[in-house]
Structure 1
């Protein structure tokens, strides 16, 4: 089997990245989108189902066809194409749930444009969780060869993140992360470094009491579950090279606390992986880049990394499930 790659916003860099990923011939995939977007870039073969895609991949990019609602101009997104963008994600998820593909890799979407098309979700992750009947159980990981991070609160304002952060949420995210590291990354005994919320991790309450009141009880609960969780660590020192060697994933309290170090250290190889779902899902760690769409400037590195990680996670998951069954 091979993963399904979604179309993403057709006015962004997704189409040119898809063509570049096929040209690289690094990881086979089947693309779910409008063939007209790619025919001028690479040879395309429309396939009836995902089973035909692997045999076709060496000579042409295999496509499960969808039809866009409006003509595409690079850099000029159109809500009229929102339905096809959403359909691509939904179809890829359906194929993964049925076992027809090994996982889902998503090209970037524009949340703002999809909202104009009636899309009610904050982003890919929440939509995928709903499609998998796991709303609220989704956990976002950003992964690269140099660092893995998981934010406990994600696509909310900083004010809302601080208001909603609690012990139960940290414990839930920690459990899902540890389980995914064992199942999808092949790490038998995961180590979770837990970030503090305040400067210097609160400095024993001098700079805030959230560490003692919220984070320490969560770490204790995770350790009671047999999870090697430790902290809370000062966020300004836990991402140094020496510190990173002591853990497998950093559990962070809010979005930017996690994503800034990851993107600073390894933006090109960063991959967004959704944990806690019955399917494998990855995505490149960048957006639609409307400003450079169609100009030949997009870097395919993150998409190639996302395709590669989806394949690796699929292998680890199959091995894990076989081990549990035996």
Structure 2
């Protein structure tokens, strides 16, 4: 099944306004709404950081059909994995068959401000793997006593479990975590705009390899990608809207060790618009835009979640649902 979703930009909008957009996405025919779980946004001025867990509960109460979930939450530092297991079991009870737990290894921007030491990638990967396995264990067993390398529980029980299991999706941009997604998760999450070879030559083959090692098929997983789109009748507006999200265009070297939204904002605001737009499909032509989006379907992704950078999200949702989604569904 091919799905098209909406990325609720928690870093850009306050909770009530963001909730309105999530509800509108369902009304306009989107299939899913995903929200990130940031303690701090990418920029200080005009930034927001509503907590994902209560926000998703409110969205569950205001909607009936759409899939809802995190893209992504880090279950390894700010939260103990058992707390995440409890929260998403509850969400699964409130929205049966609609909740999805999307997880990742985290950003220092969200963890270091709480006094945490930021470990290297190897440890973050190990923590993520252990956390996911512990969450799955808590969802399938009672009175779980567990002692791992990073986490432990003693006779822990999640008492309220949904009848329909909550799927776990793993977000990744490198081959190791992507293989892990193929082995132990229900879905894989990545983001667009990083060059086709990364997806076709590295990430999707790694998902397949991980799935096959676990005796599964890649078709058993939901292959999801956040597609960064800036679509408007005014091309200059589509281009300039990307400046709010300039941090996404920073290289890993440029933003490594930056834990302050003020400093992240300074770095991103120094970028020319041509560079901030490099991560986005910027277009005022529906046919051109569709052609670039469909490339991700052709690669094999089955769940496209659209992230728009502009301040008028209602305009984006209505424009996209009228001009882009119907033809996308035809092509899919």
Q: Taking structure 1 as the reference length, what is the TM-score of the superposition?
A: 0.31
Higher relative contact order (CA 8 A, sep 6+): 1
Q: Which of the two has higher C-alpha Rg?
A: 1
Q: Taking structure 2 as the reference length, what is the TM-score of the superposition?
A: 0.30
Q: Tell me which protein shows more helix as a share of its residues.
A: 2
